[in-house]
Amino acid sequence: MKQVLAIAAVLFIAVLLFRFVRGLMLGRRVSASAGGCEVDEDADPELKRLVKDAVASGKAREGLRQIERRATSGEAPSRAAHHCAAGNLVLTEMKRPGLAVGLFLRALREDPTCVPALERLREILMAQKRYRRLEQTCWDVLGRLDDSDAGTEMWSKAWTVLAAIYSTSPRHVRRADAIRKMLASFEVEDEDEGITAATPQ
């Protein structure tokens, strides 16, 4: 009985170590391309300062607390930008993609048009093969966009990510093809409207 418990404990520790190492490796791979969702210095110089101080001092955890405190206190001009900046900080400095996912999801809850947050989620969740979570996020974003948002950058990005998710499964390849055709026809319609508008009456 003691041997079985010892083997179980060793296996449990091995699994924990494997997940920890895998998280670090994933964090390094994704953080190499991170850097989006940057805020214009004129729009919010305080957020820019908090991020720079956290990176320069090496105190990412303290910087994260300050950024999130400012976002939830109502002082922030854009809460989504704060959550996004916090997610990038966690990803690049702390190498914790799981925590970063939560922050990018918060950014999208605050603002469903936050394209950089969806781009980061696509990078992390596709690498982790968490397709279902990413699919739910895209449908949630599309459900919260207005009819007038059809054709916008976020609308196109959400559909493009859905096509990428569905193309990973042989059962859903037709869905991916249908989405790509829909996006292509939408672009053609936009081009036709532009030509019509440019033609003198």
pLDDT tens digit string along 101-151? 999 999 999 999 999 999 999 999 999 999 999 999 999 999 999 888 888
User: What confidence tier does 3 reach under pLDDT thresholds 50, 70, 90?
Assistant: confident
Overall domain count for the chain = 2
Q: Is residue 111 part of a domain?
A: yes
Task: Note down the domain range covering 108.
Answer: 34-120
Report yes or no: 64 and 95 within 8 Å, Cβ to Cβ: no
| In a shared domain, residues 100 and 40 | yes
pTM score of the predicted model: 0.72
pLDDT tens digit string along 67-90? 888 888 766 668 888 999 999 999
| In a shared domain, residues 54 and 101 | yes
